[in-house]
Structure 1
Amino acid sequence: MVNLELDAEQLEVAELGRQLGLEVLSPVAREAEERRGVPEGVWRTLFETGLTVPVPEELGGAGIGDTVTLMVALENLSYGDPGIVFAAYSSGVAAMLLARHGGPERAALVRGLTSDPTARGAVALYEGQGRGAAEFATVIHTTDDGRIRVRGHKTAVAFGADADPLVVVGTDERSGAVRAVLVPRDTDGITVKAYDGGLALDAARTAAMSFDVTVPAENLLDAEDLLTTLGRIRLGVAAIALGTAWRAIDYAAEYATERVAFGRPIAAFQGVSFPLAEAQMRITQARLETLDLAARLHDPDAADLTAAISRLLAHVGETAAEATRAAVQTLGGHGFIAEHPVELWYRSAMALSALDFDPLCSSFTPAL
């Protein structure tokens, strides 16, 4: 049986993440969205904790080795602002991929990302349409002269316009296996189209990228346990969405206890309180499911969890969307104006739920 009770270290991480989220990230959430970038001082503060760069200490990381602790960190940081956390995490997972699959020859690249707060890495993972977790349209294959060719289109690549190093994930054209390859920034055949503001997550400066490049064979990363590492990356998005949902519901609940209508707080009306209570229950359920999968990801005897992670992402995405929508509706007309942050959290939850969506995974079950 998996024990989902947090240990002392994880509780400390949760406390630190929540404190940073509320005191450092939340006050600059609007600024980060408007300027399409995280303020330098805020990024440096978050960077120094190492909570969003999950690599071993010997490579300059904070040593967050297990996925459960990483999920706890991301959820509590996102209680402050999901956009900033998504930006920092997106750069951090590039270091994680290189640390786990790049071998000793990539150690210098990893140390560059863990020692220099101005450095940005990127992982070109998402493709902008509903698909299975391993169904990439981007293809990676070996040419006749032994080099690696990468062809495809990626969307929502955080720091896609300027990140270096850049890791592209795709499918081996012959075997169908998932592969990852390091693509130097100056390689011919990279086309970048930066988004001029989107629904949310603008702090990550996301971009669409097209690739038709050829790189040396040694740029192909080790494929052993690659799906496990990608699963860890994908679970992180679920944790960010859950932190966003928690903050929105807590904010709406506090508002409902202070807003008076018809002589009493609106929280006294079942039409207001019941949706918030149901949202809290569903968030708790989704959080436990996320931690359960995160714990099983390290079990060598566990079956491939790729499909289970896809189902979880669908469930968490729907849960976060419903929760943040309930928060907006609790505030009524005030929920749609920038004076209150719930509309930002709603947009963020919707954007996160659309990043990695398998149309065959849904919490809806036909009554047959």
Structure 2
Amino acid sequence: MKHSEEKEMIRDMARRVAEEQVRPLIASMEESDRFPEELVEIYGDLGLLQMWVPEEYGGPGGDLTSVCLAKEEIGKVSLAASTLCANNSIGLILPLLEFGSEAQKRRYLTESAKGRIVTSVAITEPESGSDVASLRTMARRDGDSYVINGQKSWITFAKQSAYMLVFARTAEGKGYEGISTFIVDCKTPGLKIGKAEHKMGRHGAPSYQVSFEDMRVDADCLLGPEGSGFKSCMRILDLNRPTVGASSLGLAQGAMDQAMRYASDRKQFGKPIAAFQAIQFKIADMAMKIGSARALLYDVAAELDSGDMSRLTLLSSMAKCYCTDVAMEVAIEAVQVHGSYGYSTEYPVERFMRDAKLNQILEGTNEIHRLIIARELFGRR
């Protein structure tokens, strides 16, 4: 797919970073789920951490297409490292651009533009996943402050974050309308980072349990009016979900590239296995699925970047759901092409398969996205 010269430069830059800076770190990330802190400065210096910060606040002034191109290229090498790319988008930049006051934008976006901070998003709770309306974390108004108590789980980069976007209930008995959003400095007393989750994959992007114990934050940490938290949550997720698809698309391409390389080198019955029709069909199916996913993703990105948000929810769910499903399907087949070696940590396809699974779950399971897509389609009739 053709992009502007400027965007192709972003793609090339991300590709070089992936090969020269990310690939050497993968072994240590896999062994211990180590957060690659050295990438923060590297990404920050190149504008990859803070891509969506507008130029007026000192940022690169990137758009959705730019973010997707960068995350796709890095995803070819490491899904965890791709997750860190443009990390500030969902935890700080997009929420502020959509719902923040000018004072909040000046305060936080100018800091984010420097490219030295990591952020996190605290939505999920032990008893609240897809059902956001059932979250129990409470924020009680007390004069010029809010006092927050509750628990969150599966919070990626919580321990490494400077700021955390926290969703909490400010009113009981109001369901969705009782939820509000806060930008919280992670040094605030009462914010406690618990144990890291031991995950199947995406090592290097650690997730943690988080608790708030009488955590007091200033009232100006409130993002938007009270009760607008669910609306802002859905809007932010819609804007960011195509980038999850981009990371998965990169993973799918990386898995296919590995499968083709292995099939060309591996000989059985006196010839490379790439000469056998069974393998050729697998590669052909991979290529068609990846091509379809890429066309969908960048068509969605182009429409949203044009300013037409009339189909935002529908398109973001389609891009996220389809690209992440394709990544899982391609990764599984890449393992199959490798045979027994595909099950060995000696080859990266087993890591791709483990990593691919998570993106079918986070930011709304793909079952939820199919419901959203159907409801949007029928609602438009």
Q: TM-score, normalised by structure 1?
A: 0.84
Q: 1:241 is matched with which residue?
A: 248
Work out whether 1:77 is the aligned partner of 2:85.
no
Work out whether 1:294 is the aligned partner of 2:292.
no
Q: CA deviation at 1:175?
A: 7.3
Summarize deviations over 1:194-227 as a string: whole Å, max 9, x none: 3254212231222122446453321111379945
Cα 1:194–1:280, aligned 2, differ >3 Å: closer, same or farther?
A: farther
Summarize deviations over 1:213-261 as a string: whole Å, max 9, x none: 4533211113799454432322221111110111011111111111111
Q: 2:55 is matched with which residue?
A: 57
Summarize deviations over 1:17-72 as a string: whole Å, max 9, x none: 122212221222122233433445444222211123121234343221x2111111
Q: 1:10 is matched with which residue?
A: 7
The number of residue pairs the alignment matches comes to 359
Q: 2:209 is matched with which residue?
A: 208
Cα 1:218–1:80, aligned 2, differ >3 Å: closer, same or farther?
A: same
Counterparts of 1:148 and 1:82, CA distance in 2: 36
Picking from 268, 274, 278, the partner of 2:281 is 274
The two structures, once aligned, show a CA RMSD in angstroms of 3.2
**1:57-136 correspondence runs (5 A):** 57-64=55-62, 66-91=63-88, 93-97=90-94, 99-100=96-97, 101=100, 103-115=102-114, 117=116, 119-127=117-125, 131=130, 135=133
Cα 1:93–1:360, aligned 2, differ >3 Å: closer, same or farther?
A: closer
The one-letter amino acid of 1:361's match is H
Q: CA deviation at 1:145?
A: 4.8
**1:1-368 correspondence runs (5 A):** 5-54=2-51, 55-64=53-62, 66-91=63-88, 93-97=90-94, 99-100=96-97, 101=100, 103-115=102-114, 117=116, 119-127=117-125, 131=130, 135=133, 137=135, 143=141, 145=143, 147-148=145-146, 150=148, 153-169=151-167, 173=171, 174=174, 176=176, 179-195=180-196, 197-211=198-212, 213-222=215-224, 226=232, 227-303=234-310, 305-358=312-365, 359-362=367-370
Contact 1:138 1:150 in 2 (8 A): no
Among the aligned pairs, what percent are the same residue? 25
Cα 1:46–1:186, aligned 2, differ >3 Å: closer, same or farther?
A: closer
Summarize deviations over 1:319-364 as a string: whole Å, max 9, x none: 1111111111111111111211111111111122221234333499
Q: CA deviation at 1:141?
A: 6.1
3-state SS in 2 of match to 1:361: helix
Q: CA deviation at 1:296?
A: 2.8
Structure 2 unaligned spans of 5+ = 375-381
Cα 1:199–1:268, aligned 2, differ >3 Å: closer, same or farther?
A: same
Which region of structure 1 is more displaced relative to structure 2, 9-18 or 81-90? 81-90
Cα 1:301–1:15, aligned 2, differ >3 Å: closer, same or farther?
A: closer
Contact 1:33 1:83 in 2 (8 A): no
Q: TM-score, normalised by structure 2?
A: 0.81
3-state SS in 2 of match to 1:322: helix
Counterparts of 1:126 and 1:339, CA distance in 2: 34
Cα 1:82–1:210, aligned 2, differ >3 Å: closer, same or farther?
A: same
The one-letter amino acid of 1:61's match is G
Q: CA deviation at 1:262?
A: 0.9
Which region of structure 1 is more displaced relative to structure 2, 91-100 or 212-221? 91-100
Cα 1:144–1:32, aligned 2, differ >3 Å: closer, same or farther?
A: closer
3-state SS in 2 of match to 1:194: strand
Cα 1:272–1:80, aligned 2, differ >3 Å: closer, same or farther?
A: same
Counterparts of 1:331 and 1:354, CA distance in 2: 26
Cα 1:47–1:34, aligned 2, differ >3 Å: closer, same or farther?
A: farther
Counterparts of 1:189 and 1:156, CA distance in 2: 19
Contact 1:313 1:357 in 2 (8 A): no
Structure 1 unaligned spans of 5+ = none
Which region of structure 1 is more displaced relative to structure 2, 121-130 or 135-144? 135-144
The one-letter amino acid of 1:50's match is G
Summarize deviations over 1:128-183 as a string: whole Å, max 9, x none: 77627x65625676647575465654333222124221112457754725743112
Contact 1:314 1:361 in 2 (8 A): yes
Counterparts of 1:286 and 1:95, CA distance in 2: 28
